[in-house]
Structure 1
Amino acid sequence: MADDRERPPRPPGVGYLIRTDGAARGNPGPASAGAVLIRLDRRDARDPLAPPDASVSEYLGIRTNNVAEYVGVVRAVALARDLGAERVEMLLDSKLIVEQLHGRWRVKDAKLQPLWAEAVRTLKSFPRGWTAGHVPRAQNGAADALANAAIDRVAAGGPAVVIIRPD
């Protein structure tokens, strides 16, 4: 296994725009999370149709929609950190998560509390900070497609998790 000294250095200041979504067919029901990550230095970074630089599509088993939404955020920010991001900007269609991450709404659901804590812990690790904003569902089509693809993929006998990283 290669050690970190053999990897090429990452460019300073890399950041990602993140769009996430969770899906649950029933609540609770078969659930999944999807996320797309797009480098902030791309001109099309904020275009909802921009092709992702990295993505996550993960089947979660039987969960609620809010757990699935949170897992999408947790997986996306962890992947951004692993890719060397110094900043993340999230555009989420879950107002609940946006408000909870900013501390404006309490996290009452015991199942969400550890996911919220993990998301906040990871977000605090980005040296150039983070933002989270609410967008209409129509602007999260790519993340939604990845979430739903995970449920369909597992039902067809495929892998539970697919992570695409930049070349």
Structure 2
Amino acid sequence: MPPRSPAAPSLFAESPAPAAPRTQQSGQRSDWINAHCDGGARGNPGPSGYGALIQNDEGVVLAELSEFLGMRTNNYAEYSGLLGCLQYALDHNHPRLRVVSDSELMVKQIQGKYQVKSPDLKPLFEEAKRRIAKLEKFEISHALRHKNKDADRLANEAMDRGMRRGNTSDVRPAASGQPAQAPLKATPYPTKSEAPPDPYAKADAMLRGFTKDGVVHVLGGATLPDGVFVKIIRE
């Protein structure tokens, strides 16, 4: 009987088994790094941010990413977290990356199980695929939120900083026994792709109008973008 050829490695994994300890020669780094990422928005859309905890295969913390994104949606923030992890791996020459996220939508879109229909998410999805293609190996899996606590904490810290309008003074240790350093940041949005228009860039502007038959009419010829929330104040 001819010898059985080895199975081709899978690009994505839904629920990878815990990594076994790896034996390294002196001076060599582990093949894989592991990232937990999370993103959120308070209002959806609203003040948003992402966070990510990146570790090597031995559990040593390599970086904590935490960035405020402005007025965005939850899904935009989730993708920004993934892009941050991918960029960190590329910038620091880590060819193999495992990502854990509590966003089932994003995970299944990256795995090819769900289509990407949102025009706001398509550029982020395409940029994520480009960055993934630059890696030797990539795996992504879904986990429930309670198993993603560190990334959730970092995302909330980013939102807290942004809502305090620029206070980014928090610092944290990179790993046990190492000096404290500011959170590492990564590009949250593709720099080579055209960003979708941001309908919330002027969300603080006060518009005047009136309601009739349950419809809001804005004076002065101004128009409201789809999906914007309106607060009506009686004069």
TM over 0.5: yes
Residue type of the partner of 2:63? A
Note if contact 1:37-1:80 (Cα within 8 Å) is conserved in structure 2.
Answer: no
Runs of 4+ in 1 over 4 A off after TM superposition: none
1:163 counterpart = 2:196: no
Q: Which has the higher contact order (CA 8 A, sep 6+)?
A: 1
Q: Percent identity, aligned pairs only?
A: 36
Aligned twin of 1:146: 154
| Distance apart, 1:11 and its partner CA | 3.5
How much has 1:62 moved relative to structure 2?
0.3
Match of 1:30 among 34, 37, 47: 47
In structure 2, the partner of 1:6 is none
**Aligned pair partner of 2:140 in 107, 132, 141:** 132
1:108-132 per-position Cα deviation (integer Å, ceiling 9, x unaligned): 00100111111111111112x1111
Contact conserved, 2:67 with 2:185, CA < 8 A, in 1?
no
> How much does 1:164 deviate?
6.9
Q: CA deviation at 1:52?
A: 2.5
Q: How big is the shift at 1:13?
A: 5.3
Name the SS of the counterpart of 1:56 in structure 2.
strand
SS of the equivalent of 2:148 reads: helix
Among 54, 57, 80, the alignment partner of 1:71 is: 80
Mean Cα displacement is larger for which, 154-163 or 22-31? 154-163
2:47 and 2:162 in contact (8 A); partners too: no
Aligned amino acid, residue 119 of structure 1? A
Query: Which whole-Å deviations, capped at 9, do the CAs of 1:85-114 have from their partners, x for residues lacking one?
Result: 110011110111111111111000010011
Higher helix share: 1
- CA distance in structure 1 between the aligned counterparts of 2:61 and 2:149, rounded to whole angstroms: 12
Query: Quick one: which of 61, 65, 81 aligns to 2:70?
Result: 61
Structure 1 pair 116–164 and aligned structure 2 pair: CA distance change class (3 A): closer
Partner secondary structure for residue 57 of structure 1: strand
Residue 123 of structure 1 corresponds to which residue in structure 2? 132
Matched letter for residue 184 of structure 2: I
Paired with 2:29 and 2:183, the residues of 1 have a C-alpha distance of 27
Once residues 161 and 61 of structure 2 are traced to their aligned partners in structure 1, the CA distance between those partners, rounded to angstroms, is 20
Structure-1 residue corresponding to 2:227: none
Within 5 Å, which residues of 2 pair with 1:13-24? Answer: 14-24=31-41
- Alpha carbons of structure 1 residues 69 and 164: separation in structure 2 relative to 1, 3 Å: closer
TM-superposed deviation, 1:17 = 0.5
CA distance in 1, matches of 2:162, 2:71: 13
RMSD, aligned CA: 2.1
Question: Is the partner of 1:21 in helix, strand or coil?
Answer: strand
Change (3 A) 1:135 1:97: same
* Structure 1 unmatched runs, 5+: 1-9, 46-50
